C-alpha cells in the first residue's frame, strides 16, 4: 500500500462534507476578529487542520449538491488534487510563518483566502465550482499585491486584476458553451476540438502565464511585499497546471507552448537586473517545463509535471524568501545595488543557495529527482528535439537562477551594505523548505509514492548523474567566462505588457482627444441648428409672428364661406 493509501486509511473515519479549502478561507476572513496571540494560533492551526481534511477526503470521497438542473461536485477526490492540495496546505503554513511578524493584517487575511480558494480548485469536480474558486483566487491575490501599500503595488494590482478578469470572462464563456454543447458541467479530460474547449484552455493558460500574456507575473509579483510574493509564487500558476493536468492531458500544442515559456523565462531572467523580477520570470520558465510535460501526456510525463509542481513550490518559495529577506533588511532589490551580503546574512545566503541548487536540478536536491521525470518522458516518446530543448533549458535555469541570483546578491562585489539577518520567523520558514528540498532529493522513492501514477524510475543512475554534472559544470563555466557580459546595467526590458501599459494608454488618450474634439464640433453644429429652428419658430409663432396677428371677424366669416363653397363644389364634381 502506498503512503497515500495508508494516510487516507488512517483518516477514513472522518469524511468531511465540505471543500477543505473553506477552512483556510474562513480563517482568513476571521483573522481581523482575533487579536494578538489568538490570531497567531489561527495562522498556524488553520493550515494544519486543512491538511488533515485534505487527506481525509483522499481520492475517493465526493460531495454532490443539486443546483438548478445540474449536480455540483465541490468535493471530488482525485490523485492530482490530493498532491496539489497537500503542497498548498504546507505552503500556507510556511508562508504564514514567514509573514506573521511582518505582513499587514489584510495581506495575511487575503493570502489565506487565496490559498483556500486554490485548494478549492483542486477538489472541484465540476466547472461551476471550479470557476467560483478560480475567481476568488483572483480577488484574493489582487489584495495580496495591493496590500504592499505602495503606488506601484496599487497600479500593478489593478493591471493584474484586469488580466485575470479577462481570463475569467474567457473561461466562463467556454464553460457556458460547453454546457450548451454537452449538457454537462463535469470537469474532466477534453480536447481543444470545439470553441468551448478552446476558450477553457485559453482561460487556464492565461493563469499559467502562457504567451502572449506572460508578463503579468513579472509585472505584478515583484511589487508585492516580501511575504506577499511568497504566497503569489505558489498558487495561481500551479492551479493552472493542475487544471491542465485534469482537463487537457496529451494535448500536443501544450508541448510547444511549454517550450516557448521555458526559453522566454530564461531570456528575460538573464536580461533582468531586479532580483525579484529574475525569480518572477523564472516562474514562467519552470511552469513551461510542466506545461510541456502535460502536452506529452504519458503517465511518466504527467507524474513528472505533478512532482515538478510540488518541488517547484518549495524551492521557488525558498528563493523568493531569500530575496525577500534581503529586500526587507536592505531596502534594495536591484542586483547592481547589492553584493557581498554573505558577510552579515550567511543563513539567508545558505538557504538561497539551497533553493538555487534545487531549481537547477543539482543531484541530491528535489529538482534533480522531479525534472528528470519530464525529460525522461520526452526521451521515451522519441521526442528528441523536445528532449534536447529541455536539457538546454536546464542549463539556462542554472545560469539565471542557480548562479546569477546568489552570485550577484551574496557574492561578487562588496556593496558596503552590512544588514543583520532577517527575523527568526523568516529564517525558520527558509530552514523548513531547505530541509524539504534536501529530503525529497535524498528519498525520491518515498516522494514518488504520493503521486497519482508512482513512476518506476530511478533518478540516481550513473548516466544521469554524469550527464547532469556535465551540464551544470559547463553551464557554470560559461557563466564565469561570460561574466563581463552578465553584469547588469540600469536598463529596462520591454515585454508584451508594454502594449497595455503604454501603447494602449497612448491610443486611448489619442482617441479621447480626437473624439472629444469631434464631439465638441458636433455639439456646436447641433446647437447652431437648434438655435436657427427656434428663431424660425419664434418668427412665426412669436408675439409678432404671422400666426399671432389679430384678424377682423368679418374677414374670418368670408374665408369660412369661401372654404365651405369650395367643399360643396368639390363634392358635386367628384
Which residues share a beta bridge with 494? Answer: none
What are the pLDDT digits (tens) for 174-195? 999 999 998 889 998 899 989 9
pLDDT score, position 535: 77
More confident position, 72 or 572: 72
Record the cell numbers describing residue 423, joined without a space.
Answer: 527575523
| Separation CA 345–CA 116 (nearest Å) | 33
| Residue 485 pLDDT level (bands cut at 50, 70, 90) | low
| Separation CA 488–CA 408 (nearest Å) | 9
What are the pLDDT digits (tens) for 502-541? 777 777 776 776 777 777 788 888 888 887 877 777 676 6
Lowest mean pLDDT among 167-181, 345-359, 560-574: 560-574
| Residue 169 pLDDT level (bands cut at 50, 70, 90) | very high
Over residues 271-280, the mean pLDDT reads 89
User: Average pLDDT of the chain?
Assistant: 87
Residue 548 clears pLDDT 60, i.e. is over it: yes
pLDDT score, position 555: 64
pLDDT score, position 550: 63
pLDDT score, position 358: 93
Please give the helix or strand (H or E) that residue 75 lies within, else none: strand 70-76
Cα end-to-end distance, the chain, whole Å: 109
Over residues 156-181, the mean pLDDT reads 93
| Residue 311 pLDDT level (bands cut at 50, 70, 90) | very high
Residue 425 clears pLDDT 90, i.e. is over it: yes
Say what percent of the chain tops pLDDT 90.
55
What are the pLDDT digits (tens) for 25-56? 999 999 999 888 899 999 999 999 999 999 98
Over residues 243-271, the mean pLDDT reads 92
Q: Are 439 and 310 in contact (CB under 8 A)?
A: no
Residue 488 clears pLDDT 70, i.e. is over it: no
| Separation CA 204–CA 345 (nearest Å) | 39
Record the cell numbers describing residue 179, joined without a space.
Answer: 454546457
| Residue 563 pLDDT level (bands cut at 50, 70, 90) | confident
pLDDT score, position 552: 65
CA distances to 251, 420, 435 from 254, rounded to whole Å, are 6, 45, 33
Residue 5 clears pLDDT 60, i.e. is over it: no
| Residue 15 pLDDT level (bands cut at 50, 70, 90) | low
Record the cell numbers describing residue 259, joined without a space.
Answer: 517550450
DSSP code string of 293-359: HHHH-SHHHHHHHHHHHHHHHHHHHHHHHHHHHHHHHHS--BGGG---GGGT-HHHHHHHHHHHHHH
Over residues 142-155, the mean pLDDT reads 92
- What is this structure's pTM? 0.85
pLDDT score, position 196: 93
DSSP H stretches of helix in 252-296:
253-271, 275-296
* CA-angle at 445, arms to 444 and 451, nearest 5°: 90
pLDDT score, position 558: 73
| Separation CA 551–CA 482 (nearest Å) | 105
Give me the residue label for grid cell 502562457. 210
What are the pLDDT digits (tens) for 315-349? 999 999 999 999 999 988 888 888 888 999 999 99
| Separation CA 110–CA 98 (nearest Å) | 15
pLDDT score, position 448: 92
Residue 7 clears pLDDT 60, i.e. is over it: no
Give me the residue label for grid cell 526521451. 379
Say what percent of the chain tops pLDDT 70.
92
pLDDT score, position 486: 61
CA distances to 215, 220, 259 from 210, rounded to whole Å, are 9, 15, 10
Q: Are 40 and 483 in contact (CB under 8 A)?
A: no
| Residue 75 pLDDT level (bands cut at 50, 70, 90) | confident
What are the pLDDT digits (tens) for 194-251? 999 999 999 999 999 998 888 899 999 999 999 999 999 999 999 999 999 999 999 9
CA distances to 42, 46, 485 from 92, rounded to whole Å, are 12, 9, 39
445: Cβ contacts below 8 Å, ≥ 6 apart: none
Question: What is residue 64's three-state secondary structure?
Answer: strand
| Residue 20 pLDDT level (bands cut at 50, 70, 90) | very high
| Separation CA 404–CA 499 (nearest Å) | 29
pLDDT score, position 167: 92
| Separation CA 179–CA 343 (nearest Å) | 60
Over residues 152-176, the mean pLDDT reads 93
What are the pLDDT digits (tens) for 438-466? 999 999 999 999 998 888 888 898 988 99
More confident position, 138 or 69: 138
pLDDT score, position 68: 76
* Number of helical H runs and strand E runs in the chain: 24, 2
Amino acid at each position: 500500500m502506498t503512503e497515500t493509501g495508508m494516510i487516507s486509511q488512517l483518516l477514513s473515519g472522518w469524511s468531511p462534507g465540505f471543500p477543505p479549502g473553506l477552512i483556510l478561507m474562513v480563517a482568513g476572513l476571521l483573522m481581523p476578529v482575533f487579536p494578538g496571540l489568538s490570531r497567531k494560533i489561527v495562522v498556524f492551526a488553520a493550515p494544519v487542520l486543512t491538511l488533515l481534511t485534505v487527506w481525509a477526503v483522499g481520492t475517493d470521497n465526493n460531495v454532490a449538491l443539486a443546483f438548478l438542473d445540474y449536480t455540483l461536485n465541490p468535493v471530488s477526490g482525485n490523485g492530482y488534487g490530493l498532491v496539489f492540495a497537500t503542497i498548498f496546505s504546507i505552503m500556507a503554513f510556511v508562508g504564514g510563518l514567514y509573514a506573521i511578524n511582518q505582513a499587514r493584517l489584510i495581506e495575511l487575511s487575503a493570502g489565506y483566502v487565496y490559498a483556500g480558494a486554490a485548494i478549492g480548485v483542486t477538489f472541484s469536480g465540476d466547472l461551476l465550482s471550479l470557476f467560483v474558486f478560480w475567481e476568488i483566487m483572483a480577488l484574493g491575490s489582487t489584495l495580496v499585491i495591493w496590500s504592499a501599500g505602495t503606488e506601484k503595488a496599487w497600479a500593478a494590482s489593478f493591471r493584474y486584476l484586469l488580466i485575470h478578469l479577462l481570463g475569467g470572462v474567457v473561461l466562463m464563456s467556454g464553460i457556458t458553451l460547453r454546457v450548451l454543447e454537452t449538457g454537462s458541467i463535469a470537469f474532466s479530460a477534453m480536447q481543444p476540438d470545439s470553441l468551448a474547449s478552446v476558450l477553457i484552455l485559453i482561460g487556464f493558460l492565461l493563469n499559467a502565464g502562457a504567451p502572449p500574456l506572460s508578463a503579468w507575473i513579472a509585472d505584478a509579483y515583484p511589487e508585492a511585499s516580501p511575504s506577499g510574493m511568497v504566497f503569489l509564487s505558489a498558487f495561481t500558476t500551479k492551479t493552472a497546471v493542475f487544471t491542465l493536468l485534469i482537463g487537457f492531458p496529451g494535448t500536443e500544442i501544450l508541448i510547444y507552448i511549454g517550450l516557448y515559456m521555458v526559453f522566454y523565462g530564461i531570456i528575460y531572467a538573464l536580461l533582468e537586473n531586479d532580483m525579484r523580477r529574475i525569480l518572477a520570470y523564472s516562474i514562467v520558465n519552470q511552469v513551461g517545463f510542466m506545461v510541456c510535460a502535460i502536452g506529452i501526456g504519458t503517465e511518466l510525463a504527467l507524474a513528472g509535471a505533478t512532482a515538478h509542481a510540488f518541488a517547484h513550490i518549495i524551492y521557488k518559495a525558498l528563493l523568493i524568501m531569500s530575496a525577500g529577506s534581503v529586500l526587507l533588511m536592505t531596502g534594495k532589490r536591484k542586483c547592481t545595488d547589492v553584493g557581498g551580503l554573505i558577510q552579515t546574512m550567511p543563513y539567508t545566503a545558505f538557504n538561497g543557495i539551497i533553493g538555487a541548487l534545487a531549481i537547477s536540478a543539482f543531484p541530491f536536491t528535489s529538482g534533480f529527482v522531479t525534472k528528470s521525470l519530464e525529460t525522461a518522458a520526452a526521451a521515451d516518446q522519441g521526442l528528441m528535439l523536445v528532449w534536447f530543448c529541455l536539457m538546454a533549458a536546464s542549463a539556462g535555469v542554472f545560469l539565471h537562477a542557480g548562479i546569477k541570483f546568489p552570485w550577484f546578491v551574496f557574492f561578487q562585489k562588496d556593496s558596503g551594505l552590512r544588514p543583520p539577518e532577517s527575523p527568526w520567523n523568516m529564517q525558520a520558514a527558509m530552514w523548513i523548505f531547505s530541509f524539504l528540498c534536501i529530503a525529497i532529493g535524498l528519498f525520491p522513492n518515498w516522494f514518488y509514492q504520493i503521486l497519482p501514477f508512482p513512476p518506476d524510475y530511478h533518478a540516481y543512475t550513473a548516466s544521469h548523474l554524469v550527464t547532469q554534472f556535465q551540464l551544470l559544470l559547463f553551464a557554470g563555466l560559461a557563466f564565469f567566462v561570460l561574466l563581463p557580459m552578465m553584469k547588469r546595467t540600469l536598463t529596462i526590458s520591454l515585454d508584451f505588457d508594454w502594449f497595455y501599459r503604454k501603447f494602449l494608454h497612448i491610443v486611448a488618450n489619442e482617441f479621447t482627444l480626437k473624439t472629444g474634439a469631434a464631439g465638441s464640433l458636433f455639439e456646436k453644429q447641433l446647437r447652431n441648428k437648434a438655435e436657427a429652428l427656434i428663431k424660425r419658430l419664434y418668427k412665426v409663432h412669436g408675439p409678432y409672428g404671422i400666426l399671432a396677428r389679430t384678424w377682423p371677424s368679418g374677414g374670418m366669416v368670408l374665408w369660412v364661406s369661401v372654404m365651405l363653397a369650395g367643399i360643396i363644389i368639390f363634392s358635386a364634381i367628384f
